[in-house]
Amino acid sequence: MSDLRYLDAARLDALDAAYFQHRRPFPWINPQGLLTEQGFATLYETLPELELFDKHFGVARKHGQQSHDRYALEYRPDLPLDAPWHEFVAELNGPVYTAFLKRMFGVRSVGLSCHWHYTPNGCSVSPHCDAKRKLGSHIFYFNTEKDWDPSWGGETLILDSDHPPPPDSAPRLEDFERVTAAVAIGNRSLLFARTDHSWHAVREIRCPPQALRRVFILVIEPGGGPSWWRRLRGQGGY
């Protein structure tokens, strides 16, 4: 294992948990530079190849929402990835990031799972609130000016309304009165908590055929019992 550190511990420590927890319309932040400069560059250069991904297109969603079309890859320790990605996932399951999540969400324990989404031209993410089992998500964006023009889209949209719809419904973007776009290029990420009004979406992407919106997503769940990381490593059982 290399000596490279992927997370910038000082930047994690500098984020204000109270600000995050009281943010409206739900807890969210869009910080820059949570990965070290070298760590981000290394992960960017060693992103998984598309042939490892499964196709998720035209899949019906539970509440009648439009299909979230993309290529998807769930992390497993036996995936044929370059070493930096295995090292990064190990660091995410280490004490620094775990303490950060517990502080930000105000909980005593957390569990993690993670996956990549690569999204091509013409695809979108319809408004949704995520599953109730989640505490939240942390989306790391892996497009840069080398491969992405912001005019193509790809930003996660934070949606707000004076009368938000119930979470088990299928509203349109036009049904929300306020839309805030997270910055989604370069060493940026989006951390947000799941609530019954944590509506978010991605507009239809308009990019060249060879381009892909690339994100790495951490799903944050309540802790308790063997961690996801220990289960995958065969150390805790199910």
- What domains sit in the chain, N to C, each tagged with a CATH number? 9-232 (2.60.120.620)
CA dihedral 86, 57, 128, 195 (to 10 degrees): -30
- Positive/negative CA dihedral, 43, 45, 50, 56: positive
Taking a C-beta distance cutoff of 8 angstroms, is the pair 33, 8 a contact? yes
> What are the backbone dihedrals phi and psi of residue 3, each rounded to the nearest 5 degrees, phi first?
-90, 0
Q: How far is CA 124 from CA 57, 69, 103, in A?
A: 11, 7, 32
Rounded Cα gap, residues 111 and 96, in angstroms: 14
pTM: 0.91
DSSP-H helix ranges across 106-142:
none
Can you count the helices (H) and strands (E) in the chain?
6, 11
Please give the chain's pLDDT, 238 residues, in tens: 678 999 999 999 999 999 999 999 999 999 999 999 999 999 999 999 999 999 987 666 565 566 678 999 999 999 999 999 999 999 999 999 999 999 999 999 999 999 999 999 999 999 999 889 999 999 999 999 999 999 999 999 999 999 999 988 889 999 999 999 999 999 999 999 999 999 999 999 999 999 999 999 999 999 854 444 444 443 333 2
